[in-house]
Amino acid sequence: MRIPEQVILSALQKGACIKTFYRTSARAAGSADRRIPDGYVLESPGERNEVILSHTDFRSVEKRLAETETWEQIVGSVLFGAVPGRFALI
């Protein structure tokens, strides 16, 4: 079910952020290849539950966001990371 753009923007204005995440082969570590996110999560401060966003939900607000954090970590043969890891409203 799609989340309205205004609901996402309202949450971001109240301090929420959107995190993206991916996983791929550890052999890809250090490469400049663009990572394709496996998903998007809207996290609000003080809330216990996060909201999973669809690709369409994210694209509806993407141009209004700024990257604030990135990370990658290898666990065994898998590279986990975020592309960018965290977004906040500009």
pLDDT tens column, 3-58:
999 999 999 888 888 888 888 888 877 776 667 788 899 988 888 889 999 999 99
Q: Supply the pLDDT for residue 15.
A: 86
Provide φ and ψ at 49, rounded to 5°. -105, 145
Q: How confident is the model at residue 88 (pLDDT cuts 50, 70, 90)?
A: low
Alpha-helical segments (H) within the chain: 5-13, 55-61
Which residues are bridge partners to 41 per DSSP? 19, 52
Q: What is the mean pLDDT of residues 61-86?
A: 81
> What span, in angstroms and rounded, lies between the C-alpha atoms of 45 and 26?
32
Pair 10, 81: CB distance under 8 Å:
no
Q: What is the CA radius of gyration of the chain?
A: 14
Q: Supply the pLDDT for residue 72.
A: 85
Say yes or no to pLDDT of 85 above 60: no
Domain count of the chain?
A: 1
Residue 14's domain spans which residues? 5-89
